[in-house]
Amino acid sequence: GENVEQHPSTLSVQEGDSAVIKCTYSDSASNYFPWYKQELGKRPQLIIDIRSNVGEKKDQRIAVTLNKTAKHFSLHITETQPEDSAVYFCAASISNSGYALNFGKGTSLLVTP
């Protein structure tokens, strides 16, 4: 079936540096691409999302870029802080599914002081 690939699986950066996580998807009909932050034992928390008619979106320190032709999208976190440490998941909408999501395998981000 359709899937979402996410890289890297782990990422360690120093506080203040930028972090970039990349995802590719295979379903050409996907039109919604959210990013989630998940802390251990808790529900995923939406941090930013982008729709297929937009190439880039920014919200303070967080930005997402989408290349529909290449079927990849990326999360950029600038000026990272220790509290950004968590697992991040990208996802892509599943076409003809009523808005269900296909998730990447996650990236464990560690921001060291």
Partner 1 sequence: GAVVSQHPSWVICKSGTSVKIECRSLDFQATTMFWYRQFPKQSLMLMATSNEGSKATYEQGVEKDKFLINHASLTLSTLTVTSAHPEDSSFYICSSPGLAGASRNEQFFGPGTRLTVL
- Chain contacts with partner 1 (rule: CB under 8 A): 1, 31-32, 34, 41-44, 46, 49, 51, 89, 93-94, 97-106
Shortest Cβ 16–partner 1 spacing (Å)? 28
| 30 token code pair | 């996907």
- At closest approach, how far in Å is the CB of 13 from partner 1? 20
Return the exposure string of 75-104: e unless at least 16 CB atoms fall within 10 Å of the residue's CB, then b. Answer: bbbeebeeebbbbbbbbbbbeeeeeebbbb
Q: What is the DSSP letter of 90?
A: E
20 vs 32, which CB is nearer to partner 1?
32
Whether residue 5 contacts residue 90, with contact meaning beta carbons closer than 8 Å, is answered with no
Smallest separation, CB 99 to partner 1 (Å): 4
- Residue closer to partner 1 by CB (options 16, 54) is 54
Q: Compute the distance between CA of residue 56 and CA of residue 24 in angstroms, rounded to an integer.
A: 16
Looking at the Cβ atoms of 78 and 103, the one nearer to partner 1 is 103
